[in-house]
Amino acid sequence: MDSVLAIAVAAPLLAACAVDVRRRLIPDWTVVAIGTAGLVQAIAAGSVPAALAAGLVCLPVGVAAAALGLWGWGDAKLIGAAGIAAGWSGLLPLFAGTAIAGGVLAALLLVLRRPVRGGWLALPAGAPRWLRAEQTRLRRAPTIPYAIAIAAGLWLALGAGA
């Protein structure tokens, strides 16, 4: 793993995940920071065409998923930036890690949905607002904070030697 790139993307990835969990939004600055860090690393490594190609492969996949309603437009932008950071050799781990983490998140939310809807699993009165909002989402139609899955995929890709 390129430790400089990992350090450079850690804070924006964590911020994207935190905001996505709380508000189901991914701040644009996090996407720009991750893409820029990946591009700077690609310039240093002399692999700019491969990094841009990886981003250009990821972006249409993200746009298609957003257009089909599978995830949000912020997720589409984030996967494009993650593709640049992962590079061409990191595409497979990025996609595999994102898919596996997304499946685990979806399964967890589905498992929690029934007890929350049935009232068997309730939060205490003093629970944080964002957690109460999550409980409300589970009662209605759960959405997945997919930045977590994309972050897991990118970490896997960086660890795989991208």
The model's pLDDT over 82-127, given as tens digits with 9 standing for 90+, comes to 999 999 999 999 999 999 999 999 888 888 777 777 777 777 778 7
pLDDT attached to residue 37? 96
Contact between 49 and 99 under an 8 Å Cβ cutoff? The reply is no
**CB distance 147 to 72 below 8 Å:** no
Query: Measured between alpha carbons, how far is 66 from 137 in angstroms, rounded to an integer?
Result: 19
Tokens standing for residue 84 = 């640049």
Cα–Cα distance between 146 and 17 in angstroms, integer?
8
pLDDT of residue 113: 76
pLDDT attached to residue 130: 72
In the chain (162 residues long), the average pLDDT of successive 10-residue segments reads 82 95 92 97 94 96 93 95 95 96 90 76 76 75 88 91 48
Q: Which of 55, 68, 65 is nearest to 157 (CA)?
A: 55
Q: What is the pLDDT of residue 162?
A: 42
pLDDT for position 161 = 55
Write down the pTM of the prediction. Answer: 0.88
Three-state DSSP at 145 gives coil
What pLDDT was estimated at residue 127? Answer: 77
